[in-house]
Chain A
């Protein structure tokens, strides 16, 4: 499963998931999202894929960085 998180770090035990999908391309294509997201999740050995900027529809369309990871 691929996850879009607010910020990836090896040192984080929990990360905030904005979006998720089993298909990486579909996940990457969704760049306009509700930034209240899906919520907090603990990961086991996540792998960093790439960073991507998204538009937060819930926050007046402001942009924020996000990281895509795989677990």
Chain B
């Protein structure tokens, strides 16, 4: 009996010593190895847009529900149809004289993947995970020095900003020695995962029965909650004018493979263009207004200088990583009983952040094609003929439509809008050269 008691106590002590330890990240660790191709990151940037909103008019849909109801009240179907298509002009006095379109907002998505070798069972473990990831994007030195990162707004991981619940780890140990009955010892581990209203739970118990005469007991339990929110709080980073860095550290059972997105603002070198807008071209019922009722305003725009960025905005993505490779895994969900090693690696690749086509701001103009020359439509200012540029094809089309009507109905020698002469770079709109070639008045653009 004494012998059994000693064995039982030794057994309990051994188990309790094991249970005393805090939850471990692994059972044992072997030497590191290097595999630079184990993790791959692809960069994809989308949503290239200027930070400045070019809003030149409002529509009925900008009104509240009550406003829309009041606006269409008492109107016929035709009037309502016209109202739905109407553009209400903004107060021109509040308009900026210079609009800067050279700060581009982009969303960059880093797709992080771990190569899985199914043909080599020694290297394969379905439970491997990327534990640490450090990546940086540095603008290509050849890119114009005026290209800089100005700010980033937020990180987003596939976990999003949702509170997806708490991952709860329970490890309990209990042992009892009942001399008159039995010796029992058990170790149990329990995992429960909550996501919204869903809960999944896994419990495993190990135990043995022995006979004895003494009576003692030992109980211990440990519970560790891991808020999933922490998994993206581990994402840290820094931004400088020509580079940014992101560091991701995995928490237990969180593989860093997946998508990470950041919203980034990039300032690009500016080009200068004067654009023109016309108001009051048409009456409410689409009747052409006379030139003296039309107003012409000019706005200077700073647009991306695509000549300096012919190949877009490129850079080098560099990253180093650590993969937690499981050499031998116990048949349990938690990680503390794994025998592991770390596989390290690093890599770099060239990536395009913004394509040159995404930087381009389309600009339209109206031209007259004659047999020996092509003349742009201009307005006269300070004895110079400046080309009338439109930022919208629809605006150019509206003005061309109005212009063609007025060319055929003009009674004056020249066309004046807001006190400025409109011509095809000096060729009067009333000239035979223009009147005989109205079919060659075209909209073009870059």
Q: Across the interface, do A44 and B372 meet the contact criterion of CB distance under 8 Å?
A: yes
Q: Which positions 5-64 of chain A face chain B at CB distance < 8 Å?
A: 6-7, 13-14, 16-17, 34-44, 56, 58-59
Question: How many residues of A are counted as interface, with CB atoms below 8 angstroms from the partner's CB atoms?
Answer: 21
Contact of B389 among A13, A39, A44 (CB under 8 A): A39
With contacts A14-B444, A58-B272 taken as known, whether A38 is within 8 angstroms of B385 at the C-beta atoms is: yes
With a CB–CB cut-off of 8 A, which chain B residues contact A7?
307
Q: Which residue of B lies closest to A58 (CB)?
A: B272
With a CB–CB cut-off of 8 A, which chain B residues contact A58?
272, 300
Contact of A59 among B270, B363, B365 (CB under 8 A): B270
- Selecting from B180-188, B200-208, B336-344, B373-381, the interface stretch reads B373-381
Say yes or no: is B121 at the interface (Cβ < 8 Å to chain A): no
With contacts A56-B272, A59-B270 taken as known, whether A40 is within 8 angstroms of B374 at the C-beta atoms is: no
Q: Across the interface, do B365 and A40 meet the contact criterion of CB distance under 8 Å?
A: yes
Of A37, A41, A58, which is in contact with the most chain B CB atoms at under 10 Å from its CB?
A41
Q: Across the interface, do B374 and A43 meet the contact criterion of CB distance under 8 Å?
A: yes
**Per-position 1/0 for B369-400, Cβ under 8 A of A:** 10011101010000011111100000000000
With contacts A35-B272, A59-B272 taken as known, whether A40 is within 8 angstroms of B378 at the C-beta atoms is: no
Q: Across the interface, do A38 and B300 meet the contact criterion of CB distance under 8 Å?
A: no
CA distance A59 to B389 in the complex (A): 19
CA distance A44 to B445 in the complex (A): 16
Q: Across the interface, do B384 and A36 meet the contact criterion of CB distance under 8 Å?
A: no
With a CB–CB cut-off of 8 A, which chain B residues contact A56?
272
CA distance A44 to B386 in the complex (A): 20
With a CB–CB cut-off of 8 A, which chain B residues contact A17?
387
Closest chain-B Cβ to A39's Cβ sits at a distance in Å of 2
Contact of A44 among B273, B373, B376, B384 (CB under 8 A): B373
Closest chain-B Cβ to A38's Cβ sits at a distance in Å of 6
Q: Across the interface, do A39 and B378 meet the contact criterion of CB distance under 8 Å?
A: yes
Of A17, A37, A42, A56, which is in contact with the most chain B CB atoms at under 10 Å from its CB?
A42
With a CB–CB cut-off of 8 A, which chain B residues contact A37?
272
Closest chain-A Cβ to B225's Cβ sits at a distance in Å of 57
Q: Across the interface, do B387 and A40 meet the contact criterion of CB distance under 8 Å?
A: yes
CA distance A58 to B271 in the complex (A): 10
With contacts A7-B307, A43-B374, A59-B270 taken as known, whether A38 is within 8 angstroms of B444 at the C-beta atoms is: no
Q: Across the interface, do A14 and B273 meet the contact criterion of CB distance under 8 Å?
A: no
With a CB–CB cut-off of 8 A, which chain B residues contact A36?
272-274, 300
With a CB–CB cut-off of 8 A, which chain B residues contact A16?
273, 446
With a CB–CB cut-off of 8 A, which chain A residues contact B129?
none
Q: Which positions 240-278 of chain B face chain A at CB distance < 8 Å?
A: 270-274
CA distance A16 to B374 in the complex (A): 14
Closest chain-A Cβ to B49's Cβ sits at a distance in Å of 23
Q: Across the interface, do B274 and A40 meet the contact criterion of CB distance under 8 Å?
A: no
Closest chain-A Cβ to B391's Cβ sits at a distance in Å of 12
Q: Across the interface, do A41 and B376 meet the contact criterion of CB distance under 8 Å?
A: yes
Task: List 20 A-B residue pairs with CB atoms under 8 Å apart, sorted by A's residue number.
Answer: A6-B307, A14-B444, A17-B387, A34-B272, A35-B271, A36-B272, A36-B274, A36-B300, A38-B378, A38-B385, A38-B387, A39-B273, A39-B274, A39-B387, A39-B388, A40-B446, A41-B376, A42-B376, A58-B272, A59-B302
A-B interface, 9 closest residue pairs, ranked by CB to CB distance from nearest: A39-B387, A42-B374, A36-B274, A36-B272, A35-B272, A40-B365, A7-B307, A41-B376, A14-B446
Question: Which A positions have Cβ atoms within 8 angstroms of B?
Answer: 6-7, 13-14, 16-17, 34-44, 56, 58-59, 71
Given contacts A39-B365, A41-B367, 18 further A-B contacts (CB under 8 A): A14-B445, A14-B446, A16-B273, A35-B271, A36-B273, A36-B274, A36-B300, A38-B386, A39-B376, A39-B388, A40-B363, A40-B444, A40-B445, A40-B446, A41-B376, A44-B374, A58-B300, A59-B302
